[in-house]
């Protein structure tokens, strides 16, 4: 008879329960899942909208696959909030204006701008998910990392953007500016959210008996996010 | 030691290969998967578009879940065509105009019309999938039935439409007319497709050595489709 395996799930459940004893931590996790869920649902909407600009059925199907994957992410975060006994839509509501503002300021004017936004946004979101996961209780971390599981949908963008630049090099200059504007708006909206939501910030910076990033750590996180953004732009053939 | 199980998969693979020896059958299956794939992709698009009319985030998420499920159906049919060595987008292309015409003639004017179209269209499509599956080789049948696997996303429509009629009974009359128009347009477009695509029709009516429906059988199928449509309308609280 094999040795009794350690029941990791109950250990993790106990640790998760302990983390949630801190009401500010609980608030922060709900705010975090709420802001991510809202982001995924609007990403679905915007990508579905952008699919209308697709020059053909193949591209339409490829961008729709991204939209559909974002909806899957939304669903996972939604269900995670329900498991915490939280109404997902109430948790999402406070972030309505921020996303409206972000998307109003970054509405793509054509198919290529839509592609770059999809690629840059998807990558930045995935990086942020991975960064923030490190400071979460095991249950929430697993949810965040599972949500990220389904990836690779945006890889078709690389070929499309590079082809467009090869056809007309001026496109590269315009899209490089566009990429800078996107990341600038994203970071500016993120700072606004952090300033208004103490719980969410506490999840990142830690509490009395919970580790987190200090200010220097947050600075390094932003440095990593912008470095990865630059690599993605380079992969598209764009200066950042 | 248990008895060796019969390898159903290889039996089925052999039967599927035999069915595809008939070139008209092969053409018909490709046309069938093409018309269904196009339908699912446009269903995704239209539902994502209708989500903009949603009166709140909950409804937006519910209709987006339907859209996302339709995209999953598209993906399954797309992959099935690839497995047959067929370019999915070439197989879909001949049905472009029919779907454009159908959706142009049945563009919902408001959220409720969108909901009824989603519910009626989803149900009619599922019924048609089940009807047609009976006359297909085992491999294609499995694909069609698997594609249908994920259902139940449209059930929220029942509550929404009944609430709206309770608030204003005149809504019931308007939506009943709308439901009639939808099914009329759908059947008319389906007849057009059947008339133009011999292979597709052959899949339904059978070949020299393959069973299928005779004309009376096709008549009975249409009777079943319209009966089920009437039950769905009744479930919504609408006359058909």
Block residue for tokens 């208004």: A196
Query: Using one digit for the tens of pLDDT, what is the confidence trace for A139-148?
Result: 999 999 988 8
Give A7-32 pLDDT, tens digit per residue: 444 456 666 677 788 888 899 999 99
**Do A68 and B71 count as a contact with CB atoms less than 8 A apart?**
yes
Q: Is B45's CB within 8 Å of A68's CB? A: no
Q: Which SS3 state, helix, strand or coil, does residue A210 take?
A: strand
Which ipTM was obtained for this model? 0.83
Q: Which two tokens stand for residue B10?
A: 């290889």
> What is the CATH superfamily name and number for domain B22-235?
Ferritin, core subunit, four-helix bundle (1.20.1260.10)
Return the pLDDT at B2.
47
* Residues contacting residue B128 through CB under 8 Å, at least 6 positions apart: B190, B225
Please give the pLDDT value at position A18: 76
Closest CA to A140 of A16, A22, A14: A16
* A74 contacts chain B (CB < 8 A): yes
The packing angle between helices A23-50 and A198-205, to 10°, is 100
pLDDT score of B220: 87
Contact status, residue A204 vs residue A135, Cβ threshold 8 Å: yes
> Quick check: A150 pLDDT over 70?
no
- CATH, domain range A21-235: 1.20.1260.10
With CB atoms and an 8 Å threshold, state whether A49 touches B48. yes
What confidence tier does A149 reach under pLDDT thresholds 50, 70, 90?
Answer: low
Which of A48, A65, A78 faces B48 most closely, judged by CB atoms?
A: A48
Task: Return d(Cα B150, Cα B130) in angstroms, integer.
Answer: 14
Query: For residue B152, is it left (φ>0), alpha (ψ between -120 and 50) or beta?
Result: left
| pLDDT for residue B201 | 84
Burial class for A109, CB neighbours closer than 10 Å (0-12, 13-18, 19+): exposed
In whole angstroms, how far apart are CA B162 and each of A94, A147, B217, B224? 30, 35, 35, 25
> A182-214: per-residue pLDDT in tens?
999 998 888 888 888 888 888 877 766 667 777
Q: Mean pLDDT for chain A? A: 88
Alpha-carbon distance B206 to B215, whole Å?
Answer: 11
> Would you say residue A73 has pLDDT above 60?
yes
Cα–Cα dist A217/A221, whole Å:
6
Which pLDDT score, from 0 to 100, does residue A1 have? 46
Inter-chain CB proximity B41 and A57 less than 8 Å = yes
Cβ neighbors of A156 (< 8 A, separation 6 or more) are A59, A62
Say how far apart CA A161 and CA A65 lie, in whole Å.
18
What are the tens digits of pLDDT across the range B170-192? 999 999 999 999 999 998 888 88
Give the minimum alpha-carbon distance from A146 to chain B in angstroms, rounded to a whole number: 18
B70 vs B44: CA distance, rounded Å: 5
At A9 the pLDDT is: 47
Q: How far is CA B197 from the centre of its chain?
A: 17
How far is Cα A190 from Cα A185, in angstroms, rounded to an integer?
8
Average the pLDDT over B188-205 and give the result. 85
The answer, for B187 touching chain A at a CB cutoff of 8 Å, is no
pLDDT value of position B43: 94
> B93 touching A, CB under 8 A?
yes
pLDDT of residue B20: 84
Which of B43, B45, B77, B94 is the best mutation test for A, with the most CBs of A within 10 A?
B45
Please state whether B107 falls in left (phi above 0), alpha (psi between -120 and 50) or beta.
Answer: beta
Whether the CB-CB separation of B24 and B85 falls below 8 Å is answered with: no
Beta-carbon separation of B61 and A93 below 8 A: no
- Identify the bridge partners of residue B207 per DSSP, sorted by sequence position: B210
Domain boundaries, chain B: 22-235
Contact A67 B72 (CB under 8 A): no
**What is the structure's pLDDT at B183?**
93
Q: Determine if the pTM surpasses 0.90.
A: no
């Amino acid at each position: 008879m094999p040795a009794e395996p350690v029941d990791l799930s109950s250990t993790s459940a106990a640790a998760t329960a302990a983390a949630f004893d801190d009401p500010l931590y609980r608030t922060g996790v709900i705010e975090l899942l709420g802001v991510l869920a809202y982001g995924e649902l609007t990403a679905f909407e915007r990508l579905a909208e952008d699919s209308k600009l697709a020059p053909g059925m193949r591209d339409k199907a490829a961008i729709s696959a991204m939209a559909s994957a974002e909806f899957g992410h939304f669903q996972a975060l939604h269900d995670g909030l329900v498991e915490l006994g939280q109404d997902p839509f109430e948790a999402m509501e406070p972030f309505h204006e921020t996303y409206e503002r972000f998307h109003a300021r970054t509405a793509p004017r054509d198919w290529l701008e839509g592609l770059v936004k999809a690629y840059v946004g998807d990558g930045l979101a995935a990086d942020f998910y991975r960064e923030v996961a490190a400071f979460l209780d095991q249950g929430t971390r697993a949810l965040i990392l599972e949500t990220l599981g389904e990836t690779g949908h945006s890889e078709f963008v690389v070929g499309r953007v590079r082809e467009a630049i090869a056809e007309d090099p001026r496109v590269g200059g315009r899209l490089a500016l566009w990429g800078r504007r996107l990341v600038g708006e994203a970071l500016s909206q993120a700072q606004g959210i952090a300033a208004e939501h103490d719980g969410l910030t506490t999840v990142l910076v830690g509490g009395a008996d919970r580790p987190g990033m200090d200010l220097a750590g947050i600075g390094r996180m932003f440095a990593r996010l912008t470095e990865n953004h630059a690599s993605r732009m380079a992969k598209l053939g764009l200066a950042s």
